[in-house]
Amino acid sequence: QLPPLWVATDQEGGIVSRLSPPLTHLPPLAEVVSQSSTPEEQHQQVQAYGKTHGQELAALGINLNFAPVVDLNKGIVSAQDRFSVIYRRAISDDKAIVAKVAQDYCTALFDEGVSCTLKHFPGLGRLEVDTHLTSAHLDTPIAELEQDDWVPFQQVMNTSKALTMLGHPILTAVDPDHPVSFSEAVVNGILRQQWQYDGVLITDDFSMGAVFNSRDGVTEATIKALNAGVDLILLSYDGDLYYPVMAALINAEQANRLSLERLAASGDRLQHHRPFS
């Protein structure tokens, strides 16, 4: 018997609303925050926002939303940023507000039978290069990230069953050779060991240039990601990549290149965080 199927979409609100129309096209969460005069009003408005998303997605049979964006808004960092445009998608530049809004949004989604996804760890707001196109380095000191960009991630990761999406920047201070999405030092060293995070980790799309054009390529990146402790690999823009990736995984398993211990732990996490069905 096959496990329940994750059926996912990007329905953040604002400029990333893949199913609007026909679904309600809501403004970005940042607009909800800016128009709320009190914390209680913000709480109520975010819950109503999440309820709308949750009800409409659940009615279509979608049980996972790739939202909310918890990257901090650092403004326009680069004019070459064509696709990520986090400054138009982020909730706020205030880490406390981002954490509270993300928590309220996820709670509202869960109440309607839809899981949420915190994205994009380790934070894309500071990047000067668009990872849709090519590799990007996040050179910010870890101590600064821990006090700023990572606060919303940690707070919501520790208090909900939200999935966490891994972005593709290279976290220079930790692993200068691999994007975060398939870095053993980041995924296992920081998230699984240091943070003791036992939730589901999903990558951002491996069709993106930062992975597709990397030294490892998509197939080797997938093997490294699973061995590092990632649970789900996203292949979206180019669905045909599924076939070489699956072939590479079969070959890797036969060559004893896949960590059975890590795969078993991943299976346990996915069983514990089964999708709504």
- Residues acting as catalytic residues: 132, 204
Angle between the N-to-C axes of helices 150-157 and 95-111, in degrees from 0 to 180, rounded to the nearest 10? 30
Q: Cα separation of 115 and 57, whole Å? A: 10
CB of 184 within 8 A of CB of 227? yes
Q: Cα separation of 70 and 151, whole Å? A: 10
User: Which stretches within the chain are classed as H helix?
Assistant: 29-34, 39-59, 95-111, 142-147, 150-157, 184, 209-212, 217-228, 242-254, 260-272
Residue with tokens 């408005």: 45
Nearest C-alpha neighbor of 16 from the set 110, 90, 102: 90
* 219 alpha carbon, distance to own chain's centre: 20
Q: Secondary structure of the chain: what % helix, strand, coil (to 5)?
A: 45, 10, 45
